[in-house]
Amino acid sequence: MRLRMALLGFGNVNRALARLLLRKADALRAQHGLVLTVTGIATHGHGAIIAPDGLDLQAALDARAEERPLAALGSPAGDALSFVAAVPADLVVEAIWTDPRSGQPATDLLRAALGRGLHVVTANKGPLAFAYRELRDLAARQGVGFFFESTVMDGAPVHAILREGLPVTTVNRIRGILNSTTNSILTRLEQGVSFSAALAEMQRAGLAEADPVNDVDGWDSAMKIAALANVHMGADLRPADVERVGIGAITVQQVRAVAGRGERVKLLCEAWRDGTAVKASVIPRALSLSEPLAHVMGTSSAVTFETDTLPALTIIEGDSTPATTAFGLLADIVNIARERFRRLRV
């Protein structure tokens, strides 16, 4: 089976996916009879190109590494919406920046792709936090897949475990450490490193943006807990509905004082049922060391689901990289090729 793919974004994550596609090509063919061909790439700063017969992925990676334009590898395709409308593809893989206050531009791009009858795989929590029901229903009407494993905890199979492993289960509460930047900063504060120095370490490592407000102020975490609540608790939350307190005012002295009591400060993401409603928060809290989430350190992340069938299920992911996020994308692509989405109904 040949599956033609279009990449929205060619930053760290989709470049890691391109490398993974090259490395796993033989295994995909041998284990799944699957040949994946990239027929177009749309970027924010390097234009959009289409190559109906397939792009040379290694050449595209080399061009980006050498900061050369991609134009020589295909035909120009205009802006991202024009690209989605024109690219000859079966599936769109999206991994672009999204405004945490609007969910754009990713939501409109995914809406256009699904409306055209293309499968969608996304690493972007924004569309789930702003338009999950709409996009889910649109995919079902079109008979296409809409998968999003990499939106929370990178490539860890959080969504797949709940979707495939917990049938007829009601999720009553979600608690998680979902932002690697803030978790790493809090870890370093406990070790006596100042907030500014800890943040600078993350920026030098490429794990925090030059403007870290979305992480430090809790917007990234708010999008993720809203996404989890929308998908797995039937909520219809937006990030602005999430009670949110960032970590910018926390000091070494505060964190070490908490540690002296046998507790640890974490930016805790929570969603819970309150009667017929679902509420959510992102707030720094002191967790007892008896709690698994208190032991999630550095750039690791974790989530605990409290359900009516399993009292507490905790999934912990080790330190993440763009490669782990890319694996989540690849897993979704394989599941779409296996038509796993046909089991899902609105």
Residue 297's pLDDT is 95
| Choices 3.40.50.720, 3.40.50.2300, 3.40.50.10490, 3.40.50.300: CATH for 2-155+323-343 | 3.40.50.720
Mean local confidence (pLDDT), 15-35: 97
Residue 100's pLDDT is 87
169-219: pLDDT as tens digits: 999 999 999 999 999 999 999 999 999 999 999 888 777 777 889 999 999
The one-letter amino acid code at 175 reads R
Residue 210's pLDDT is 74
98-122: pLDDT as tens digits: 898 899 999 999 999 999 999 999 9
User: Higher pLDDT residue, 341 or 297?
Assistant: 297
Q: With bands split at pLDDT 50, 70 and 90, how would you rate the model's confidence at 344?
A: low
User: Pairing state of beta strands 35-42 and 2-8?
Assistant: parallel
* CA 135 – CA 272 distance, rounded (Å): 23
CATH topology of domain 168-319: Dihydrodipicolinate Reductase; domain 2 (3.30.360)
* CA 344 – CA 143 distance, rounded (Å): 10
Percent of the chain with pLDDT over 90: 88
pLDDT of residue 164 exceeding 60, the answer is: yes
Residue 305's pLDDT is 98
Do 247 and 185 form a contact (C-beta atoms < 8 A)? yes
Phi/psi of residue 220, nearest 5 degrees: -60, -45
Mean pLDDT of the chain: 94
User: Pairing state of beta strands 146-147 and 119-122?
Assistant: parallel
Domain ranges of the chain: 2-155+323-343, 168-319
Mean local confidence (pLDDT), 224-236: 98
Residue 95's pLDDT is 96
32-60: pLDDT as tens digits: 999 999 999 999 888 899 999 999 999 99
List the structure tokens of 148. Answer: 């999003």
* CA 217 – CA 78 distance, rounded (Å): 35
Ordered strands of the 48-50 beta sheet: 75-76, 48-50, 35-42, 2-8, 91-94, 119-122, 146-147
State the CB neighbour count (10 A cutoff) for residue 34. Answer: 18
Residue 343's pLDDT is 59
For residue 206, how far is the Cα from the chain centroid?
A: 17
238-277: pLDDT as tens digits: 999 999 999 999 999 999 999 999 999 999 999 999 999 9
Residue 346's pLDDT is 39
